[in-house]
Chains A and B, each alone.
Chain A
Amino acid sequence: MVKDLAYLIYGLVVLGMAACGEIRGVHPVATWLDGDVWDPEGNRPTAAGVWHK
C-alpha cells in the first residue's frame, strides 16, 4: 500500500508537470524534435528583409 501511495503521488506530480507544460507552452519533446530548425547555416535573411551570406 505504501508503494501504491508513492506511485499515486508520483503520478500526480507527473500530471502537474504535464499541466504546467501545457499552460506555459513548454513542450520538451516537440522542442527536442524541432531542435534542428534553429540557427540555419548558409544564406540568412536579415530583419530588414535583406538576403545575404
Chain B
Amino acid sequence: MAGESRGVRAFSCAQCGAPVKVRAAGVSMSAVCPSCKSVVDVNDPNHKVLSAFQGAWKKTIPLGLRGRFEGVSFELLAFLVRAPEGDGDESAFQWEEYLLFHPLKGYRWLVQAQGHWSWVTPTKRQPQLGARAATLDDRRFRLFHKGKAKVLYAEGELYWRVRAGESVDVDDYVAPPLMLSREAIGTSEVTWSRGAYMAREAVAAALNLDLAALPRPLGVAPHQPSPYGDRPRRLLRLAALLALALFVLQVGSCVRHVGGQELLSDGGVHRQGDVEPHFTPEFTLQDAGPLTIRLSVDILDNSWFEVGVVLIDVDKGTQRAFELGVESYHGIEDGEAWQEGSKAKSRILPHVPAGRYKLAVTPSSGLTGGGPTGYVVAVASGGVLWGNFWLALVALLLYPGWVWLQNRSFEGQRWAESMYGGDG
C-alpha cells in the first residue's frame, strides 16, 4: 500500500552487502543488518558500520508486524534484548523490548519481562522526585529498582546509534498498574517513560497473535495490578460497618441485661472443718436467660475462700454445679506495699431456664487457725456475656481477613524482587 511504502528505504550493508530495509527513513538513525548483525549508520552516505552484535535471539514477535494500540496501527521496527549490568550471569534475567512506530504518535515500546508485558510511552514531563518516590500527575510512584541495564542484542532500526553492550542507569518506580522509568547516560541525557501493565491476552489481541505464542507470566511483575484490586479495602470497610452494627447490638444487649433483678442474697458462716453444704432459700427466675451468682467475703487476710455451688431446679430436680473462689494477698517487698486478688467474684451462667431454684453452697478456705469466715452469696437475673459478640465478630472478619492476607501475600511476592522492600 502507498501509505505503508512511504518512508521505506533499502540499501546494501557495508559489511556483508546484504539488503538492509529501513521503514522509518528520516527518523531512524541506525539499523542492524539482518544478515551479519552489523549496526549501520542509516544517515551516513556510505552507511558506515558502527558496531556489531553477536549471535541471534529468538523473538517472540516478528519485526514488521503491525498492531493496534491507542486506537491506531503501530509498526514494530526493532527488537532489543537487555539485561542488568554487573550481575555477573547475564542469562539469569533478560527482557525483550520491541520498538513500535506510528507517524503521528511517534515511538512506543512494548516490553516483555518474565512473560509480563508493558506498554511504554516516553514522557517529556519531569516527575517530582522525593525520598524513594516520584510523583507524576498527582500519582505517587514508589522506587522499586535502581541499577544499570545494558543492550545484549538488537535487530531492526532504531532512533539512536545503538551499540552492543551500551549501558544506561535505570531507576524504576511503580504504582500498579503503572511504572515510571528513568534512563540516564551520565547526568546529561535523561529520559523518562511511563509503562502500563498489559495483560498477555491484550497483547495477543492487539497484535493478532495466537495467545500460545506468547510466554506464560512467571512470578509477579513490579507493576502488575493485584488480582484483588481494592477489594481488601472495600471488604474491610464493609466489615467495619457490620462490626459497628454488631457493637451497637451488644451495647443494647448490655443495657437490657445489666442491673437485672436481685433474686437472692444469703449469708453464711464457715468454720474450719465444716463439710456440710448450706442450702439457701428458694428464689424464682421469671424468664429464661443468664443468671449472675456473686460471692463476697468480708475479711480475707492472705488467704483464699472457695464455695462449691449447686444450682438446683426445685421442680425438675435438675442440677448445675460449679465453683466460685476468691483470694486476697498483700505484703511488703523492698519497702513497697503490694496487694493482689479480690474479696468478691461473680460468675454468669449463660442460659438458665425459668423456674424455682435454690443453691447448695459448700465452702472451703485456706484459713488456718482463724475464726469463722462470713460470706454472702447473691443471685441476680441477667448478666452481660460477650461470647456472641466475639463469635460474630470473628465470623464477620474471616472473609475480609482472608482476602487481605491473600493480597498481602501477592504484594509480598512483588516486593520480594525489589531492593527497597515493601515498607515505603
Interface residues of B in 394-411 (CB under 8 A from A): 395-396, 399-400
B320 touches A30 (CB 8 A): no
Answer whether residue B390 sits at the interface, using C-beta atoms and an 8 A cutoff.
Answer: yes
Known: A22-B388, A27-B290. A15 touches B312 (CB 8 A): no
Rounded to whole Å, the gap between the CB of B88 and the closest CB of chain A is: 46
Answer whether residue B341 sits at the interface, using C-beta atoms and an 8 A cutoff.
Answer: no
Rounded to whole Å, the gap between the CB of A21 and the closest CB of chain B is: 5
Rounded to whole Å, the gap between the CB of B260 and the closest CB of chain A is: 12
- Enumerate chain B residues within 8 angstroms of A51, measured Cβ to Cβ: 276-277, 360
Task: Tell which of B100-108, B156-164, B178-186, B241-249 binds the partner.
Answer: B241-249
A47 touches B392 (CB 8 A): no
A30 to B347, CA, bound (A): 11
- Enumerate chain B residues within 8 angstroms of A33, measured Cβ to Cβ: 387
Chain A interface residue number, banded: 20 to 34
Interface string of B2-34 (1 = CB under 8 A from A): 000000000000000000000000000000000
Interface string of B230-259 (1 = CB under 8 A from A): 010011001100100110011011001000
Q: Which secondary structure dominates chain A's binding surface?
A: helix
Known: A3-B231, A30-B350. A45 touches B312 (CB 8 A): yes
Chain B interface residue number, banded: 35 or more
Interface string of B306-334 (1 = CB under 8 A from A): 00001011110101111000000000000
A17 touches B392 (CB 8 A): yes
A30 touches B348 (CB 8 A): yes
Interface string of A30-51 (1 = CB under 8 A from B): 1101100111100011110101
Closest to A11 in B: B242
- Enumerate chain B residues within 8 angstroms of A19, measured Cβ to Cβ: 249
Cβ 8 A contact of B392, one of A18, A31, A44: A18
- Enumerate chain A residues within 8 angstroms of B289, measured Cβ to Cβ: 25
B399 touches A34 (CB 8 A): no
Rounded to whole Å, the gap between the CB of A40 and the closest CB of chain B is: 4
- Enumerate chain A residues within 8 angstroms of B322, measured Cβ to Cβ: 34, 37
Closest to A40 in B: B321
- Enumerate chain A residues within 8 angstroms of B279, measured Cβ to Cβ: 45, 49
B319 touches A40 (CB 8 A): yes
- Enumerate chain A residues within 8 angstroms of B419, measured Cβ to Cβ: none
> A: which residues have CB within 8 A of B?
3-4, 7-8, 10-12, 14-15, 17-19, 21-22, 25-31, 33-34, 37-40, 44-47, 49, 51
> B: which residues have CB within 8 A of A?
231, 234-235, 238-239, 242, 245-246, 249-250, 252-253, 256, 276-277, 279, 288-290, 310, 312-315, 317, 319-322, 348-351, 358, 360, 385, 387-392, 395-396, 399-400
